């Protein structure tokens, strides 16, 4: 039988004949892909779960380069999602040069991107969702939003997320959870939730005064004759990774005991199938699957990992559906006697060029963007090199941001946070305001200029490194390593706290960073209240406009060992 995976990999055969990088044209690639092939699926059972997460306010098709480093430690070393490039292709038996190779890896990324085109676009996702609902029957389908939806673009920032709220009303999710949503502030979050036609679930958030639930924890649905419980888990470390002052009355945490209580309660109330809609992060949820009992499915988000199929951990299926609208996760479940007896799963890549845009959603996207269209398309420069963010260590977008901060703030060093959101630009593309804001749009954008001693700099790097590479995933917060400008260092992820960062060097002089000397450092996205300085997007507009043409050389100053 010729399966969807076979079809998505068919272009590899053409590559063998024509030579992929130079011979397979976009027209040829599109002829090898069709919307029906993307939707082809081994349907099973009574319930279909559709999952999208970490869209970060991206309404339009885009480029998003997968990471070149995604290191796991301890029990999670060398297993999904901590595989990249050729290792990823080998593990999942994906052919190099195929559509799936482009969707999931950075291998030959620029040529692949020029061949297969952009991915995502909420109007394309809407087409897929409507097709699956029609094929399966709406009474069998649950569409679940994993959060990080209301942040990450110019229009989302300027409309206080109303653009995303309006578009998602047409998509008709059945429930959602959150993380960056909370950086809109308590009042705005509550205002939006009150306007939604579906529940915002977060069973792990309680108020500080009485420790009572702030949001609903669980929603019950009957799908295909099966009673389904969906339990929501917001990002547990939100007050650490984002400003506490924006939601001062709420307490976050993993709260595994409370989660177990909610699972047990759902079972007692007749749930045949229990789903955790989570923003914990992939490794956290891999451990969660072994910590609590009674979960049939975890739909995980936050770490932006894209895994082609659900992984089975004990009796729990764990699905991670990527980010930025590049994918739509699907799991079909056959449930008998309160147990999953069979399932099918797939991560559907949203190839923008071969999916017919949903007319209703496309019109709504045009409507919400219309007041800003001239500004978002304003060109401020051009790039000669690939600009991307994702990877455990420095990416070229953040190298550019660090250069800009050092220049515009007259600083010796620069720190840029290890955010996993932010789209990609290919060599030769114009840089627009839209592009800049996909890297910088946030509600606490001030660029500070402070002095830190060399000892403090090492302490900062060690602390962030431990959040990323702690062997216990319950102590990980899901970001990438803070990006640095003006200095180099070596990281040993497998070492213990305090021993991972070495060989810190001031690049300007080649001298070691002196623990006792003070250095002027520029940075952005501080979680402290009252930070003074220009907004990062204003600063970088000034810097990029001055440069006109951007050419970022490969960063050789940040090294890693032992992985």
Domain boundaries, the chain: 1-32+65-116, 33-62+118-368, 377-560
For residue 207, the model assigns a pLDDT of 95
Bond prior to 81 in cis (omega within 30° of 0): yes
On the question of a common fold for 33-62+118-368 and 377-560, the answer reads no
Q: Are 215 and 192 in contact (CB under 8 A)?
A: no
Measure the N-to-C terminal CA separation of the chain; round to a whole number of Å.
40
Q: pLDDT tens digits for 303-333?
A: 999 999 999 999 999 999 999 999 999 999 9
pLDDT band per the 50, 70, 90 thresholds, residue 354: very high
Q: What are phi and psi of 180, to 5 degrees?
A: -65, -20
Q: pLDDT tens digits for 66-110?
A: 999 999 999 999 999 999 999 999 999 999 999 999 999 999 999
Q: Are 29 and 116 in contact (CB under 8 A)?
A: yes
What distance in Å separates the CA atoms of residue 354 and residue 30, rounded to the nearest whole number? 6
pLDDT band per the 50, 70, 90 thresholds, residue 1: very low
For residue 8, the model assigns a pLDDT of 63
| Highest CATH level, class, for 377-560 | alpha beta
Q: Are 41 and 4 in contact (CB under 8 A)?
A: yes
What distance in Å separates the CA atoms of residue 14 and residue 11, rounded to the nearest whole number? 5
Q: pLDDT tens digits for 146-171?
A: 999 999 999 999 999 999 999 999 99
Type and span of the H or E element at 483: strand 483-485
Q: Beta strands of 249-338 (E only): which ranges?
A: 250-251, 273-278, 297-300, 311-313, 316-320, 327-336
Q: What are phi and psi of 326, to 5 degrees?
A: -70, -20
For residue 309, the model assigns a pLDDT of 96
Q: Are 316 and 336 in contact (CB under 8 A)?
A: no
Whether residue 204 has pLDDT greater than 50: yes
Rounded to 5°, angle at Cα 396 from 394 and 402: 75
> How crowded is the C-beta side of 260, counted as CA atoms within 13 Å?
9
Match domain 33-62+118-368 to its CATH number in 3.20.20.140, 3.90.1150.10, 3.60.21.10, 3.40.50.720.
Answer: 3.60.21.10
**pTM score:** 0.95
Q: What is the mean pLDDT of residues 253-280?
A: 98
Please state the three-class secondary structure of 7-70 as a single string. HHCCHHHHHHHHCHHHHCCHHHHHHHCCHHHHHCCCCCCCEEEEEECCCCCCCCCECCCCCCCC
């Amino acid at each position: 039988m010729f399966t969807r995976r076979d079809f998505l990999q068919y272009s590899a055969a053409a590559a063998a004949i024509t030579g992929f990088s130079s011979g397979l044209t976009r027209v040829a690639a599109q002829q090898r892909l069709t919307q029906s092939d993307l939707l082809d699926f081994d349907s099973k059972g009574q319930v279909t779960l559709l999952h999208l997460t970490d869209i970060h306010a991206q309404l339009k098709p885009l480029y998003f380069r997968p990471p070149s480093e995604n290191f796991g430690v301890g029990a999670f070393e060398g297993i999904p999602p901590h595989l990249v490039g050729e290792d990823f292709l080998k593990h999942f038996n994906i052919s190099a040069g195929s559509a799936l190779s482009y969707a999931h890896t950075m291998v030959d990324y620029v040529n692949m991107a020029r061949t297969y085109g952009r991915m995502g676009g909420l109007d394309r996702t809407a087409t897929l969702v409507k097709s699956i609902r029609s094929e399966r029957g709406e009474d069998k389908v649950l569409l679940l939003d994993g959060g990080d939806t209301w942040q990450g673009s110019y229009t989302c920032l300027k409309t206080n997320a109303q653009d995303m709220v309006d578009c998602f009303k047409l998509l008709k999710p059945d429930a959602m959870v959150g993380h960056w949503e909370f950086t809109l502030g308590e009042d705005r979050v509550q205002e939006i939730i009150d306007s939604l036609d579906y529940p915002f679930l977060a069973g792990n958030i309680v108020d500080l005064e009485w420790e009572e639930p702030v949001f609903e924890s669980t929603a019950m649905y009957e799908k295909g004759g099966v009673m389904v419980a969906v339990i929501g888990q917001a990002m547990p470390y939100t007050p650490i990774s984002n400003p506490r002052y924006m939601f001062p009355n709420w307490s976050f945490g993993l709260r595994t005991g409370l989660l177990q209580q909610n699972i047990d309660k759902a079972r007692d109330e007749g749930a045949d199938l229990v789903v955790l809609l989570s923003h914990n992060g992939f490794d956290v949820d891999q451990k969660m699957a072994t910590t609590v009992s009674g979960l049939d499915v975890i739909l995980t988000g936050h770490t932006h990992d894209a895994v082609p199929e659900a992984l089975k951990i004990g009796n729990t299926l764990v699905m991670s559906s990527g980010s930025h609208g590049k994918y739509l996760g699907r799991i079909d479940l056959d449930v008998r006697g309160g147990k999953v007896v069979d399932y099918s799963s797939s991560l559907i890549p949203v190839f923008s060029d071969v999916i017919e845009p949903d007319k209703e959603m496309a019109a709504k996207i045009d409507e919400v963007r219309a007041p800003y269209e001239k500004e978002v398309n304003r060109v401020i420069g051009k790039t000669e090199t690939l600009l991307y963010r994702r990877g455990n260590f420095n990416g070229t977008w953040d190298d550019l941001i660090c250069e800009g901060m050092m220049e515009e703030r007259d600083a010796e060093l620069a720190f840029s946070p290890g955010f996993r959101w932010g789209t990609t630009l290919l060599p030769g593309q114009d840089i627009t305001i839209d592009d800049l804001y996909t890297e910088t749009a946030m509600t606490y954008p001030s660029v500070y200029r402070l002095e830190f001693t060399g000892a403090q700099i090492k302490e900062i790097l060690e602390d962030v490194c431990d959040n990323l590479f702690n062997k216990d995933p319950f102590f990980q917060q899901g970001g990438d390593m803070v990006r640095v400008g003006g200095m180099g260092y070596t990281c040993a992820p497998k070492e213990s706290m305090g021993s991972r960062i070495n060989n810190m060097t001031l690049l300007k002089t080649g001298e070691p960073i002196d623990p006792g000397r003070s250095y002027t450092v520029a940075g952005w996205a501080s979680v402290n209240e009252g930070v003074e300085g220009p907004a990062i997007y204003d600063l970088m507009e000034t810097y990029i406009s001055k440069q006109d043409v951007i050419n970022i050389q490969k960063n050789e100053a940040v090294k890693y060992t032992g992985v």
